[in-house]
Structure 1
């Protein structure tokens, strides 16, 4: 039986974890698109959830504190992430300009499992926000719960698993809407805007050294 303190730690981790990941970003946009297209959804959800668990564990183990002591690494990570997100944004913009490639079941448009998993890993592990939020912030917050820090981490991991599973598999409920090419044009156009905006924000952060 979990004590009230342990339950509080789990609940706090769950709420903070969801608060950090339930936002429009590169990773969530990719999971949403894969869910709508019914392409390798299980693999994408698994990669995102397992990656978060590893990052949360690293933060609890003290990686967050270690990264915060080496601020010179942050600009490098920011610029690398900005370059990748900008490239992904350009690809999304190209898809938005090609209506024939936007239908969920368009022939020849399906990506292989290796390519899908590789893209998902890149969007997850090349995103500086993942380290700043999941590792540094969650790791720092977990340390405040002392002996219950792992319960806090478990709550955060649970939140991640629930969110990505719901996003990946729940997206299919929107397929009737995305049966029209115009809807996919809007989605990919929106993804392009989000990716470019994130790239710019990371480049600015890298330039400021913060």
Structure 2
């Protein structure tokens, strides 16, 4: 190893020995410091990982809780809307049933027919035009009872079928409505028969 610096010199070997001995001590100290720092950072890393996992777990749990609450609120809203719709449907069905019951019972009794015929018979030859909503079977059946009475009283306008049908824009009329010509209104000569029907049947 004669090629090493100061290998054959007393002073050289002493100096180099001291240098490397001191250097070894320094490097050993640095190694200890590095290990301590590495240990500290490794421990801190573990703590941060645990904290992060706890935070992420808490956030996931909160997100799940919020999601469950939203689902519960949406389900409750849907149930309320469904119950409201069912209630509205039941009310509509009840109204329809009540209306159907009232409408289905419309017919002229024998005393009513006799009373109307007695009045109509006083005005033979007068003109009448009877209208009902298009396709309203119950209204048609009811109106045909009047057609028969007008025919017996020899009124005009009830020849052949004796009934007219029309489409209404909006809600069709309910009940019996009496109209007179504008000419009679302007001349203040409304027929007595119209007055009778107005007072007896008009809405």
Query: TM-score, normalised on structure 1?
Result: 0.19
Higher relative contact order (CA 8 A, sep 6+): 1
Q: TM-score normalized by structure 2?
A: 0.19
More helix by share: 1
